[in-house]
A and B are shown apart, each in its own frame.
Chain A
Amino acid sequence: MRLAILDHGHGLRAKAIFVLIRVFSGHPVVDAVKLALYRPDFYRAGGLTQKAMRGPSEWSVADRELMAAYVSKINETEFCIAAHTATSALAYNDGAKVSATLADLETAPLAEPLRATLRMLGKLTRENKVDADDISKVLAAGGSEQQIKDALAVAFAFNVTDRLADVFDFAVDDLGAINAGAKYLLQRGYR
């Protein structure tokens, strides 16, 4: 990471947690966790992200993980693309569906409300704005008002996280650690 404090500046409690993670997971501590445990009094995104990704929603957990991967793809954030591609694939039990979506949203085997929602999130992420017409297209495709709000919460969380991952230069983990992280995120979430 670009800031040494994010690798080595933690308090004793966080350092103890890192030891436990290394021992019990068998993998190094991923940079996202190091960031999450650095000055949580200043920046603590876990609760908000947990609510967006695991709270009550008409979207499945797999759908929301796919949104996270898709937003990260638009932002070109390698760490988050890898992590949430793996988590979505595991949640759907369908890696091909996730790969197809990231390769070409228009031809991927998705329900139309989800495709239209991802299209809108992609524009928001790329251009920083959408208009009433973009929203109307999601509603016309069968997406509900609440589904749009829930999807925007996912996009918010990952438009923050992607920027932090890129600027702090999170290392992309090996496949074993990525898959272990995906299992953890499905079992335990983001808290």
Chain B
Amino acid sequence: MRRAAFDNKGAAEPVGTFVDKVARHARTVTDADISTLRKAGLSEDQIYEVVVCAAIGQATRQYRNALAALSAVTGRN
């Protein structure tokens, strides 16, 4: 589940939808989203881990994209 959260790919529902929201629209996450995960059987620690992995995954994709754009300009890695 951690890997799927990091990749924003392949997590079973309702985690998949939640992970995508954390990655792309974190500001819009609500109490109801967290309740949905609890009702699906996730513990607080599992929710914590999913959120951390989803956040780091999205920031990593942004960072790698920008470094690739920089390399394209400078010709250096």
Contacts and interface: CB of A to CB of B under 8 A. Distances in A.
Interface of A: 2-6, 9, 38-39, 42-43, 75-77, 120, 124-125, 128-132, 134-136, 139, 145, 148-149, 152-153, 155-157, 159-160, 162-164, 166-168
Contacts of A9: 44
B69 A167 contact: no
Interface of B: 22-24, 26-27, 29, 31, 34, 44-45, 47-49, 51-52, 54-56, 58-63, 65-67, 69-70, 72-74, 76
Contacts of A77: 26-27
A128 B24 contact: yes
18 contacts: A3-B44, A3-B47, A77-B26, A128-B62, A130-B65, A130-B66, A135-B66, A148-B70, A153-B63, A155-B66, A160-B55, A163-B22, A163-B26, A163-B55, A163-B59, A164-B51, A167-B51, A167-B55
- Secondary structure at the A interface, as helix, strand, loop or mixed, is helix
A120 B61 CA distance: 16
A122 B74 CA distance: 21
A132 B52 contact: no
B37 to A, nearest CB: 10
A92 to B, nearest CB: 25
A102 to B, nearest CB: 16
Contact of A160 (B29, B59, B73): B59
B70 A135 contact: yes
Given A42-B49, A42-B52, A152 B66 contact: yes
Nearest to B23: A163
Contacts of A159: 55, 58-59, 62
Given A5-B48, A129-B65, A155-B62, 13 more contacts: A2-B31, A4-B44, A5-B44, A76-B27, A124-B65, A128-B62, A131-B69, A132-B73, A145-B76, A149-B67, A152-B67, A155-B63, A163-B55
